Amino acid sequence: MSASPAPVAGAGRGWATAAASAVALALGVPAAATGGLGAAATAALLLPVLWIAAGPGRRSVPLAVAASAAALLLVPLLLPWATLDAGRAVPVLLVHAVAALVAHALARRVRGDLAHLHAAERLTRSVLDAVTEQAVIGTGPDGLVDVWNPGAERMLGRQAPDVRGALRVDELVHPDELRERWRRTAARTPFAALVADVTTDRPDVSGWTWLRADGSGVPVQVSVTVRREDDGRVAGYLFVATDQTQALESAQLQEQFTGMISHELRTPVSAVVGHLDLLRDDPLTPDQARSVEVAERNAHRLLGLVDDLLFTARVDAGGFPLNPTDVDVAQVARAAVESARPAAERAGVRLALDVPADPVPLRADPVRLAQVCDNLVSNALKFTPAGGSVTVGVTATVDHVRVAVADTGLGIPADELDRLFGRFFRTSTAARHAVPGIGLGLAITRSVVVAHGGVVEVTSVEGEGATFTAVLPRRGRAG
């Protein structure tokens, strides 16, 4: 039989062992009085023996065997009216010894497993308690909350004892948003609608408005993952929510600032460009002509920067329109190279073109596609020192057209590649070598390519150069 009660630490366990030993001795009295060890007496005596053997420490088994020996051998010797049947007592003692060893080994394993479970539980609890910037909420399969970390208390104004076992997580979601998800998924319950898009290998990441204890809303981004038992059954779900209030406010302020600056700058800069054009109609001295040329070049550069800011604001506002037509990508690449050739000659960089002689047709917005090529070539020239080279290539397959711009320039650190297309991001190499720019060209390029259904790939080795490739599907979203 199994006998591995929860061990009692310290003095408590000592008193328990003493009590079990006393019980064993007491059980030996009726056995000796009846003059034999029946099955009932043997089984009854086994219980305190197993209790003692299941205790921690190396002394448990010897103590258990000693208690059994005392009950089987010592008690009959001490009682004047009892008889000792050694022929039966010794085999029973051996059985008790083996049982004590087995019970001790099993109890030791159970204690080890419990210790690991308790350690894992403490680690999980400490991790959850340390997460204060995100709300971590665990539920059972029915959506009833069973985990509520300090981050959830801080974000939603509800204390853990008040919500565990009393609140379903779908009650936190704004009713209008939950009804929309419920209508879309046609789930049986609101909670089922909330987790309808969650799979074992893919969490569901969504934006929601959660409700605080006072009824006010907080915008959150929620990642929902499923918790499963060892046999695959759903044990519940884990919701990790991040407060998006500051992010949304920052994005709104940045959009307002960008839009305001862009519109406030574009009008006067356009006026400057217009008046510079008028100056060219008048007779100018060579020095005056050079001054007008410098002013015009910088005015156009500033106007391009304003246009980039305006384009970024349009992307933030929900995208930008595309006007797709049949485009020869090879011709777009040729035009980009010819447009950049004067800048390449001034920088001392060799500019090469590698495109097919035959047209490379693609359904795309010609203006935006030219913007992609111009941005990639301009970026490559800025990061390529004198004596280097930039090569623009176009290749095509049945499914895709690839526009690649390779340079032999400064290259990009490996740990910065994942941030390369973020707006206003500047690489450390750009900062060290004082390369001009504000970090919008690549972000705009990726936005245009993604709008066409494509992707931008980049490979680079710091100090050896980089290759940017716009991969455009021949049946992309632009059509």
Domain at 131-243, CATH class? alpha beta
Per-residue pLDDT of the chain (479 residues; tens, 9 = 90+): 334 444 444 445 555 566 656 655 555 555 554 445 555 556 667 777 777 778 887 788 888 778 777 766 665 555 555 555 566 667 777 877 888 888 888 888 887 777 776 666 666 666 656 666 788 899 999 999 998 988 899 899 999 899 999 999 999 999 999 999 998 888 899 999 999 888 777 788 889 999 999 999 999 999 999 988 878 888 899 999 999 888 787 777 767 776 677 677 777 888 888 888 888 777 888 888 888 888 888 888 788 778 877 777 777 666 678 889 999 999 999 999 998 999 999 999 999 999 999 999 999 999 999 999 999 999 999 999 999 999 999 999 999 999 999 999 999 998 888 888 887 777 888 878 777 777 788 988 998 999 899 999 999 999 899 999 999 998 644 54
Q: Are 296 and 327 in contact (CB under 8 A)?
A: no
Q: Residue 27 has what pLDDT?
A: 55
Q: Are 472 and 362 in contact (CB under 8 A)?
A: yes
Cβ neighbours of residue 74 closer than 8 Å, sequence gap 6 or more? 28
What's CA 371's distance to the chain center, in Å?
A: 33
Q: Using DSSP bridges, classify how beta strands 350-354 and 389-396 pair: parallel, antiparallel or unpaired.
A: parallel
Q: Residue 348 has what pLDDT?
A: 95
Nearest to 4, CA basis, from 119, 113, 116, 120: 113
Q: Say how far apart CA 60 and CA 64 lie, in whole Å.
A: 6
Q: Residue 124 has what pLDDT?
A: 60
CATH of domain 325-473: 3.30.565.10
Q: Say how far apart CA 380 and CA 384 lie, in whole Å.
A: 6
Residue 52 structure tokens: 């003692």
Give the DSSP H or E segment for 479. none
CA diameter of the chain: 142
Q: Residue 9 has what pLDDT?
A: 46
Helices (H) and strands (E) in the chain, counts: 15, 12
Cite the beta strand spans of 162-216 per DSSP E: 204-211
Q: Residue 18 has what pLDDT?
A: 63
Residue 116 structure tokens: 């690991």
Q: Residue 73 has what pLDDT?
A: 67
CB count within 10 Å of CB 370 equals 19
- Residue labelled with tokens 């574009």: 266
Q: Say how far apart CA 96 and CA 114 lie, in whole Å.
A: 26
* Percent of residues in the chain assigned helix, strand, coil, to nearest 5: 55, 20, 25
